[in-house]
Chains A and B, each alone.
Chain A
Amino acid sequence: MKPIHYFRCLAGISIREWLRFLNQRGRLFSALVRPLVWLAIFATGFHFVLGVSIIPPYETYIPYSTYIAPGLIAMILMFNGMLSSLSMVYDREMGSMRILMVSPLPRWFLLIAKLLAGVIVSILQAYAFLLIALIWEIEPPWYGYIAVLPALILSGLMLGALGLLLSSAIRQLENFASVMNFVIFPMFFASSALYPLWHIKEASLVLYDICEINPFTHAVELIRFALYGQIEPTSAVVLVAATAIFLTLAVYGYDPAKGLMARRAAE
């Protein structure tokens, strides 16, 4: 196989992911409505409750809605990463996963292609959210819209890789509820998405440490800084490392000789 064949395969997987996303109108609707509900109701309700001091990258006091916008963008990426993982479980149950797995390309490439396809869909949703968020006067500088793209890609890859890893471990579609309870919600709430970490540090040092090691916190912070044309190097390093670890484990999990797939077949 030549590089062009790999590219065509990636394009085919991306198109399928996009078509599935468009076909599932409920998913399209909820992907945008979920963060907007947080923005319109939660952020408005807590506007005067949660004070946000001047912390980088902000140079002045900001409304709470501006503070939580990067967290909500990361939320879009996380939900999409997890839904992509759900689609892998669905594909496995329905049999269509086999068509992917028996195509004549290395399995690691197929998994990365699936991951990238999910990230492309996530990024388009994130930009759609940023456009709608203008109604709430969330207006990063114009260059922020460009600078945030690498942060979205890296964050999307990390969260998608986590989704892939989970999909290799989930046996049935019904188990996805556990993912919601034990992965998505804890990751979201134990992060800097809704409140600055210094607030958490004042309340609980243990929780602060948990938030610090939570890769979702670093996705939020990378996006927050990138929206203002800045880079948060620690977060970038953490995300690269987390992506590499999750992806390696996912490829291992999907290896018929070694991973969870092999153990499942043996049961």
Chain B
Amino acid sequence: MSIEPAFSVESLGHRFGQRRVLKDVSFAVAPGDFTVLLGLNGAGKTTLFSLATRLYAQAEGTIRIFGMDIRERMLECLRQMGIVFQQPTLDLDLTVEQNLYYHCALHGLSHREAAHRIAAEIDRVGLADQRGDKARRLSGGQRRRVEIARALLHGPRLLLLDEPTVGLDIASRQFMLDHVRRLCREEGLAALWATHLIDEVGEGARVVVLHRGEVRAVGEAAQLLGQMRATSMRAAFETLVQEREAA
């Protein structure tokens, strides 16, 4: 029996006016997979996320969440997704807890259920003592942890993270990476982690290299290194990005 991918895009394209920002993009993320969407700034990562979360209307190609076409079952698809945007999205005037309750309400959770889940998630990201603090008082790393906790509150099976470590120090970055990888490994969550930071591609991760709106390579990190005959991911990425530009 074949397992439906948690997230798949087929022949996805998008234009902003005359400017084409995504072209014939196809790849899939299996349940339990930690997949890195690697690309420079302007590669089309955020556009892809915006299409998958109905912030932009999708015109070309197909996006499926656990086999469901988002154009046909958008709301059910959104229920399955936890999202961490590149731009911080906490309400800085509310406390950590108030931000989390707000998210639970948007997903229709009862107050009791919300209280239970908030306690569990906030504890997992190590911010139990800060739950009553205004989001404004938290550091950048702490805010990102809250956003991860929030993305998990409604029990999604797929996590979409758009540049979640931008601006964070090394310790906070490592915490975020370890936390999400653990969720994939231990809880079977699928994660699509968009980044321009090559060192976030860890061993065993699947990588999708996106450049100028096109997929340049898809596969296991080790497999890509072999194919490109490169000694490091950085070298492989640079070759992939330069190859067609030179052509």
A-B contact count (CB 8 A): 102
Cβ contacts under 8 Å, B101 to chain A: 12, 15
Q: Does B116 contact A (CB under 8 A)?
A: no
- Tell me the complex Cα distance, A101–B52, Å: 12
- Tell me the complex Cα distance, A94–B56, Å: 18
Q: Does B240 contact A (CB under 8 A)?
A: no
- CB of A84 to closest CB in B, whole Å: 15
- CB of B177 to closest CB in A, whole Å: 22
Asked if B78 contacts A23 (CB within 8 A), the reply is no
Cβ contacts under 8 Å, B91 to chain A: 16, 20, 94, 96
Cβ contacts under 8 Å, B92 to chain A: 94
Q: Which one of B85, B98, B102, B107 contacts A95 once the chains associate, using CB atoms below 8 Å?
A: B85
Q: Which one of B16, B94, B102, B108 contacts A1 once the chains associate, using CB atoms below 8 Å?
A: B108
Q: Does A26 contact B (CB under 8 A)?
A: no
- CB of A120 to closest CB in B, whole Å: 15
Asked if B55 contacts A267 (CB within 8 A), the reply is no
Asked if A12 contacts B83 (CB within 8 A), the reply is no
Identify which of residues 14-28 in chain A touch chain B, using a CB-to-CB cut-off of 8 Å. Answer: 15-16, 19-20, 23-24
Contacts A20-B91, A96-B91; A102 near B75 (Cβ below 8 A): no
Identify which of residues 64-104 in chain A touch chain B, using a CB-to-CB cut-off of 8 Å. Answer: 94-96, 98-104
Asked if A19 contacts B94 (CB within 8 A), the reply is yes
Query: Hey, what's the 0/1 contact readout for A1-20 against B, CB within 8 Å counting as 1?
Result: 11011101101110110011
Q: Does A262 contact B (CB under 8 A)?
A: yes
Q: Does B167 contact A (CB under 8 A)?
A: no
Q: Does B197 contact A (CB under 8 A)?
A: no
Contacts A1-B75, A266-B16, A267-B16; A101 near B105 (Cβ below 8 A): no
Q: Which one of B75, B93, B109 contacts A8 once the chains associate, using CB atoms below 8 Å?
A: B109
Q: Does B76 contact A (CB under 8 A)?
A: yes
Cβ contacts under 8 Å, B78 to chain A: 102-104
- Tell me the complex Cα distance, A24–B106, Å: 23
Q: Does A256 contact B (CB under 8 A)?
A: yes
Query: Hey, what's the 0/1 contact readout for B133-169 against A, CB within 8 Å counting as 1?
Result: 0000000000000000000000000000000000000
Q: How many residues of B contact A (CB 8 A)?
A: 35
Cβ contacts under 8 Å, B85 to chain A: 95, 98
Cβ contacts under 8 Å, B98 to chain A: 16, 19
Asked if B105 contacts A9 (CB within 8 A), the reply is yes
Asked if B54 contacts A96 (CB within 8 A), the reply is no
Cβ contacts under 8 Å, A257 to chain B: 57
| Majority SS at the chain B contact face | loop
- CB of B102 to closest CB in A, whole Å: 5
- CB of A17 to closest CB in B, whole Å: 10
- Nearest opposing residue in chain B for A99, CB measure: B89
Which of A6, A98, A100, A103 has the most chain B CB atoms closer than 10 A to its own CB? A103
Cβ contacts under 8 Å, B56 to chain A: 256, 262, 265
Cβ contacts under 8 Å, A104 to chain B: 75-76, 78-79, 107-108
Q: Does B88 contact A (CB under 8 A)?
A: yes
- Tell me the complex Cα distance, A255–B74, Å: 14
Q: Which one of A5, A9, A101 contacts B55 once the chains associate, using CB atoms below 8 Å?
A: A101
Q: Does A105 contact B (CB under 8 A)?
A: yes
Asked if B89 contacts A256 (CB within 8 A), the reply is no
* 18 A–B contacts, CB within 8 A, in A order: A1-B75, A4-B108, A5-B108, A12-B106, A15-B101, A20-B94, A95-B85, A96-B91, A99-B102, A100-B106, A101-B53, A105-B75, A105-B108, A256-B54, A256-B55, A258-B57, A265-B50, A266-B16
9 A-B pairs besides A102-B83, A105-B108 with CB distance below 8 A are: A9-B107, A13-B102, A13-B106, A19-B98, A95-B89, A101-B53, A103-B78, A103-B106, A258-B57
B-to-A contact residues, CB < 8 Å: 15-17, 50, 53-57, 75-76, 78-79, 81, 83, 85, 87-94, 98, 101-110
Instruction: Report, nearest first, the 3 A-B pairs whose CB atoms are least far apart.
Output: A12-B105, A5-B108, A257-B57
